[in-house]
Structure formats: C-alpha cells, structure tokens
Amino acid sequence: MNEHTAEKQSGCLINRRDFIKLSSGAVALLADAAVYAGRQDRKPKPKNIVLIFTDQQHIDTIAAGGCYHVRTPALDRLKTSGVSFTQSYTANPVCSPARSAVFTGRTSSECDVYVNGRPIRSEIPNLGQWFSEHTDYETFYAGKWHLPRTYTSNIPGFNVINTGIGGFGYLCDTVMSRACEGFLRNRSKSKPFLLVASFMQPHDICEWLRLNMNNPTGLRYPELASKLPELPDNFEFDSNEPDRIKKTRSGNEPFKGNWNKEQWQYYRWSYYRNIEHVDAEIGRVLSMLEESGHAKDTLIVLTSDHGEGMGHHQMVRKSTLYDEAARVPLLFSWPGHISENRTDTTSLASGLDIMPTLCDFAGIKPPENMRGKSLRSILAGTSTTGNEFVVTEVSSNTGRMVRTKGYKYITYINDSVEQLFDMNNDPGETVNLAANVRYSSILAEHQKILREFESKLDVPSAVPNSDTWRHKI
C-alpha cells in the first residue's frame, strides 16, 4: 500500500467516525440494520456494484432506445444487457438536490439540499456510509459529488479515487474514466467493491450555451447544416404557464440572444455530441470491467441527476418539471440476474428508488424512512407492482410534481397556475388540463396524493417553505 492509499483509507476512517457521531435515533437504526445484515439472504448478491452517473442527460439520447441522432455503443450495450425504464424521474431536476436524493433515498428537502452546493443533513446516511457500515463492499468514488463541493477528495463513506476539474466535462470525464480504468485493472477480484463513477458530461452544454448565446449571422460551421436535428414536436409553449417557468425561460440564453431556428438546431446537435463523448468514457469503464474479469459479477446501474431542455417548450438546461428536465435514464444490468434487453415503459421509477434498490441487491435493510422502493423484483421480472406515483421537487423547494400512471400534476407556491397533463395522450405536455372542469376530480386526486406524501416527510424547519407544503393543498 502506498502512502496515498493509506491516507485515503485513513480519510475513510475519519468519515466513519464522523458517521458514528449521529443522533441516537440514527445509531439505533444502524444497530437494527446490522442485525438484519447478519441474516442469510437467499437472493443472490452481486460481487460488485458500479453506479454510473451522468450529468444532465435527456432520457431520449440512447441510440438503442430509438434516438437516431447519436452513436452510443456503450449506452446501447448497457441498455440491451439489462432493464431500462422509460418512466424514470429525478427527485429534483437540479444537480445537488437530485444527487442528495439518489445517495440517501430521502427527498432533497429532507436532506436540506434544496439548492446546489449544500451538504446532506448530517443525520441522514449516504450510500457510501451505509454500505461501509453494513456490507463487505469497499466503497469508492470517482468524479462529481457536489454535496457540497463539486469535486472533492473528502466524501463521507467513500474512498475517493479521483476528484475532477471544476466544472468542465470533457477533460474531467476523460481523466475520471482513466482513473476508473486503473482502479479496475488493479483491483483484486476477491474484494467486493461499490464504485460510483460520476461523469460531468453532457453538462458542458451549459458552457456551450454561454459561449453561443449571441445569435450569429450564420451557422458557425455551414458544413453541418444538413446534419442538424429537427426541433422537437413540443417546441412551442403555452403562454399561460406558471410564472416560475416563464421566468426561467426568459432568463435563458436563447431568449437573451434571440435565437433563430438554426441556432436551436445547432444547440441540439452540440448536445448530442456531448452525449457521444460521455458514452465513449462510459465505454472505457465497461470495457475495463470486462477485461479485468469483473463484468459477470457486477451489477451496473446508470442514471443521471436530471435531464436537459433540448428545446422542448423552448427550454434549455434543467430546473423545470416538464419531462425533458425531470425524466432521466435509468438502466440496470447484471447478466443472468436481471432481465436482458427489456424496456419497461409502464413502471414509474424515481431517483429515490436507487438507494433501497441497491440495499436490496446487497442483502441489507435500507435506512429507515426511504421515500422510494426497491425495484429489484421488477428488474427480475417477478413483479410488475411498482410505484403508484412519484414526486419531484424543484426551485428552492417552491415546486412539486406528482406523476401517476396517467397524469402529471405540477404546482408552485404563490402561483395560481397549476398544470395537469394527460401523459398517455399528450406526452409532450402541451395541453394544460388543470382548469378544465372535466378533470377536476383527477386534479383533486393528485393534490391529495401530494398532500399525503408531504405529510410523511421530515423536512428541517430551516428549509424554505418546509411548513408551507404541509398546508398548501
């Protein structure tokens, strides 16, 4: 062991000591889970787990999923070797809040991560801490964390093998996948691991937007004119939207720069290239899993923190509850244990489901008060009973979305405009049914679901609007 490795392990021990300094209630939970973990679980357990994170990936960006604008051999491999969900939602379409939910199984408001750059509330354990305490997996992390620091060598519960470069995906992801390559090449096959490979791309579209805001006189690369993708079917937007959405849109670069159609198309073309970039880096990790002999024994999960506007509703980036920002890829692969090449178009899934699902695969009880459910039986094809609904938060805890099998309901604090969409007949979310009396009972039903969901949450009083939500609807 070299000195640096020793330092990292020491860092991990410090983190574990910090973790044990939890409130007494949480310590009691630990003890309970430790007993549970000691039981023989009959379900098979993957030798290793790799959780791959992308940043800002629109769900429709995988060639094998039908996106013909991109070449994504790695994502295709993952998709065809396992189960992918098409109705998978982030718990919050903003970086840090979304990540807090994935790594804890608790809502971002419960985690106290209602905006970017906040740490997870200390009494809520993260995935690394929980696995370190209750499993024999060694826990490793590479890449973007953002809770609170974007790139850091100090992540509670994880040995950080690589940090990253502040804010930039291209170089950052290349270096990060090389670190994963080295890790997998050198890792002994006898020692189980949980590795989080957290990529930055296709987030570089944010820099692209700032560097291409001004509407040019012509296409910067006229050679690309015939290759530009068309605009999405739901490019137009309803003028009677909640103010929050209008404000977000008008503050974005396309409106500041008064973009023409070609510039919108060029933006979409550029975003697809960023997808291909991260796909190649993911491919390096997948290839190395195979070359190192780990692949057959490894459960691979891929998701993204949130989606990307891509011109739907003339939006760019994230922070809205429309599907382009709120829906994210969610892929699971474990050859021989998870159905192969199955696209689940009906089950509702959430970032909140990842923590309980991984605990289920690891044969341990998850922390208490999980807001999501294990997807394991759905992945195995032994059950079709999943979530009846999923909830997503947004905008500094001022917005909520409830997605049921048929509808999506969106509401914001201090905004009289609510939104209700028929997701089966209007998946592009173009016709707001909230004010249509024929849908009043459906609206009321969704308000009730949200009210009941909110009543169970344990949101710190310091989180903005923590009380408002309990009484809003």
Partner 1 sequence: MAKQKRTIVGSPITPNMLVELDAISKLPPTHGNFNPVGNWTHHYRVWTCHGYRESGNDNVGFLRIERIGSSSETFMLNIHQEIVQNDAITNIINGKITCRNNKLASPAEWKLSSQFEGPDGKIISALSSHNHGVATESVTSTAIDWCLFEAVQRLVFDKQSSLRFDLLEGMYLSKLRHRLFYRGVTPLKMNDRVTPLHCFVQTGSGILPYEYWLDERHRLLAVISMNKAYILDDEAEQIIKREAKEARESYKRKRKQEQ
Query: Of 52-60, 130-138, 171-179, 399-407, which segment contacts partner 1 by CB under 8 A?
Result: 171-179
The answer to the question of residue 166 lying near partner 1 (CB under 8 A) is yes
The answer to the question of residue 377 lying near partner 1 (CB under 8 A) is no
Which residues inside 96-155 make contact with partner 1, applying CB under 8 A?
A: 149-154
Query: Which residues, listed in sequence order, are joined to residue 118 by a DSSP beta bridge?
Result: none
Of 210, 336, 425, 438, which one interacts with partner 1 (CB under 8 A)?
210
CB of 227 to partner 1, least distance (A): 9
The answer to the question of residue 369 lying near partner 1 (CB under 8 A) is no
Q: CA 204, CA 322: separation in Å to the nearest integer?
A: 21
The answer to the question of residue 194 lying near partner 1 (CB under 8 A) is no
Q: CA 210, CA 288: separation in Å to the nearest integer?
A: 35
Q: CA 392, CA 122: separation in Å to the nearest integer?
A: 22
Q: CA 469, CA 454: separation in Å to the nearest integer?
A: 7
Which residues inside 239-268 make contact with partner 1, applying CB under 8 A?
A: 253, 256-257
**Amino acid at the residue 431:** V
DSSP 210-235: HHS-SPPSS-SSGGGGGGPPPPPTT-
Q: CA 335, CA 26: separation in Å to the nearest integer?
A: 35
Tell me if residue 15 falls in helix, strand or coil.
helix
The answer to the question of residue 470 lying near partner 1 (CB under 8 A) is no
Answer whether 443's CB lies under 8 Å from 339's CB: no
Q: Which two tokens stand for residue 241?
A: 């939207």
Nearer to partner 1, 276 or 344 (CB): 276
Tell me if residue 290 falls in helix, strand or coil.
helix
Query: Of 48-56, 77-85, 191-199, 211-219, which segment contacts partner 1 by CB under 8 A?
Result: 211-219
Query: Of 221-229, 237-245, 345-353, 414-422, which segment contacts partner 1 by CB under 8 A?
Result: 221-229
Tell me if residue 2 falls in helix, strand or coil.
coil
φ/ψ region of 167 (left if φ > 0, alpha if ψ in -120 to 50, else beta) reads left
Q: Given the structure tokens 């998870």, which residue do they identify?
A: 338
CB of 235 to partner 1, least distance (A): 23
Nearer to partner 1, 114 or 145 (CB): 145
φ/ψ region of 462 (left if φ > 0, alpha if ψ in -120 to 50, else beta) reads alpha
Of 45, 99, 146, 187, which one interacts with partner 1 (CB under 8 A)?
187
Q: Tell me which residue of 135, 131, 93, 134 sits closest to 115, measured CA to CA.
A: 93
The answer to the question of residue 16 lying near partner 1 (CB under 8 A) is no
Q: Given the structure tokens 């419960």, which residue do they identify?
A: 110
Of 76, 123, 133, 207, which one interacts with partner 1 (CB under 8 A)?
207
**Amino acid at the residue 53:** F
Of 189, 191, 220, 247, which one interacts with partner 1 (CB under 8 A)?
220
Q: Tell me which residue of 251, 252, 245 sits closest to 401, measured CA to CA.
A: 245
Nearer to partner 1, 202 or 386 (CB): 202
The answer to the question of residue 218 lying near partner 1 (CB under 8 A) is no
CB of 193 to partner 1, least distance (A): 12
The answer to the question of residue 17 lying near partner 1 (CB under 8 A) is no
Of 16, 246, 273, 405, which one interacts with partner 1 (CB under 8 A)?
273
Tell me if residue 49 falls in helix, strand or coil.
strand
Nearer to partner 1, 160 or 410 (CB): 160
How many helices (H) and strands (E) would you count in the chain? 16, 14
Of 78, 172, 338, 370, which one interacts with partner 1 (CB under 8 A)?
172
Length of the chain: 473
The answer to the question of residue 224 lying near partner 1 (CB under 8 A) is yes
Q: CA 296, CA 133: separation in Å to the nearest integer?
A: 25
The three-point CA angle 345-346-347 to 5° equals 110
The answer to the question of residue 274 lying near partner 1 (CB under 8 A) is yes
Query: Of 54-62, 180-188, 312-320, 464-472, which segment contacts partner 1 by CB under 8 A?
Result: 180-188
DSSP 398-416: TEEEEEESSEEEEEETT--
CB of 334 to partner 1, least distance (A): 25
Q: CA 400, CA 94: separation in Å to the nearest integer?
A: 13
Query: Of 42-50, 217-225, 365-373, 380-388, which segment contacts partner 1 by CB under 8 A?
Result: 217-225
Of 200, 209, 316, 325, which one interacts with partner 1 (CB under 8 A)?
209
- Exposure letters 6-33 (e unless 16+ CB within 10 A, then b): eebeebbeebeeebeebeeebeebbeeb
Query: Of 24-32, 201-209, 317-325, 344-352, which segment contacts partner 1 by CB under 8 A?
Result: 201-209
Nearer to partner 1, 4 or 471 (CB): 4
Which residues inside 276-335 make contact with partner 1, applying CB under 8 A?
A: 276-277, 279-281, 283-284
Of 27, 47, 64, 71, which one interacts with partner 1 (CB under 8 A)?
71
Binding site for partner 1 (CB under 8 A): 2-5, 7, 71, 149-154, 161-168, 170-172, 174-175, 178-179, 181-183, 185-187, 204, 206-214, 216, 220-221, 223-224, 253, 256-257, 270, 273-274, 276-277, 279-281, 283-284
